[in-house]
Amino acid sequence: MNHHFIAIEGNIGAGKTTLAHILSKHFNARLIVEQFADNPFLANFYENPRQYAFPLELFFMAERYKQMNELVHTNDLFHSITIADYLFTKCLLFAKVNLPEQEFRLYQKLFDIIYQQLVQPDILIYLHAPVSKLQQNIRKRNRSYEQAIDDGYLLKIQETYTGYIRQHNIKTLFIDASNADFLGNEQHLKVILDALEMDIGEGPHYFTLPSES
């Protein structure tokens, strides 16, 4: 496999972190996992989005930058591959959904300054699942502050992600994760592993996971 930096993305509840852990173990890779629970504004944001959106997004961007910046300044002698369960551009995509126009413009200026300093992934794995599947996963992992997330919000996030991927020339494995079970179904994981071995060009490349026989 020729990819040294793999990012995994998807909507809330898509299974990003689960897949990141599996792939990091498979490739003996360095793992970068977002510490979302450390954000002190997260629970308040879901209760009062308008009041807490800007500090929420600033905190996330600062923490993600801190994590990603280590890739620039750290040589890991034991791992030749890095896998992250987010794309730094996630900052801008969520801010676009959550912030009013003036705050978003200010946020974007800060983002543009920081973005230029970071290493970008060789390939993106995007897990695409319908809102009903996302809600099922959200209920299953049972984080109290997520239980009131409505379908409309998840749909906005979904549309923002897919719009970004289609408009930008990012090398992307676009995975239909409607029935994804990377922990319990070896064939689902094999689709990902085989796709990572392919010599694909820029832009999105679409893959489906086999149904249960």
Task: Tell me which of 38, 76, 85, 122 is the catalytic residue.
Answer: 85
Spatial separation of the C-alpha atoms in residues 35 and 121, rounded to whole Å: 19
Residue 194: active-site member: no
Q: Which residues contact 76 (CB under 8 A, 6 or more apart)?
A: 30, 82
Spatial separation of the C-alpha atoms in residues 113 and 153, rounded to whole Å: 28
**Cα torsion angle, 4, 195, 191, 203, sign:** positive
In DSSP terms, which residues pair with 124 in a beta bridge?
7, 172
Spatial separation of the C-alpha atoms in residues 54 and 44, rounded to whole Å: 12
Catalogue the active-site residues: 85
